[in-house]
Amino acid sequence: MADQVGSHLTDAGWTSLTLVRGRREPDESDGAKQVLRSTVLYIAPDALSWAQWVLADEPILLGDQPVAWTISARATPAGLPQWNAYFSAGTPSEAVTDFLLALEDHPDPAHGYAGPQIVLDTLAGSGWVRDMDTPSVMSDPRLAASMAFTALPEEGIQDGDPLVLDPEADATGWQAWCEPRIGAGLLWAAMFSASTPHDLVAAFAASLASPAPVLRHTLPEISEGQLTVQPTV
């Protein structure tokens, strides 16, 4: 996942920076320094968007899955992030890349002007079905993966909208997850803060729901019976 997404960003002209943070006791040599964190930061050519590989850092958890990528955007090169998207290890790299492709083509990375219905319509167009009790939740026909427009966790999900910082306000955003077998644990999870443009989330949803085959070297055991496997030519 790190190589596939990182290669796309490099090819697209994003600047790559490796951030290493550590510590050294006063009587230790430079070579004895202990590296505590090491992440890779990619910055878009216009400096309005960036993506960071954070799996080696202190983990942020989505469910029980550690976040691997965080993607953010701001209105000006000197501004703070307007929104943040979080993708755990195991999230299909194609969907993360397509999210980034949509971000690169977005005229205003920090803001969106479509409503949440665009995500629901995108999933419905690919055959996903609505939950009968919660219309803002949709799942693939095999009920292995789902997306929901719902209240976000109170901690860990950062957003630039001042109203979202209100502890009495319920921040609402998109969540996506894959649980091929109920009770067996999540295969991956993704979360988008409240201000993430819905059309960007729709690009992620379209990629996630696409029937086009993807190349995989290994298959998770809990996905057995949920995937159609065909040989490469």
pLDDT digits (tens, 9 = 90+) for 52-63: 998 766 667 887
Q: Residue with structure tokens 């400096």?
A: 47
pLDDT of residue 83: 96
> Would you state the pLDDT for residue 160?
85
| Angstrom distance (rounded) from CA 33 to CA 86 | 30
Contact 164, 177 (CB under 8 A): no
Q: What are phi and psi of 86, to 5 degrees?
A: -125, 130
- Pairing verdict, β 172-178 and 188-192: antiparallel
Please give the model's pTM, rounded to 2 decimal places: 0.85
Q: In this predicted structure, what is the pLDDT of residue 228?
A: 73
At 186 the pLDDT is: 87
Q: Which residues does the chain have with pLDDT short of 70?
A: 21-38, 56-59, 163-169, 217, 219-226, 233
The alpha helices in the chain, defined as continuous H runs, are 2-11, 93-105, 117-125, 198-209
Q: Check: CB of residue 173 under 8 Å from CB of residue 163.
A: no
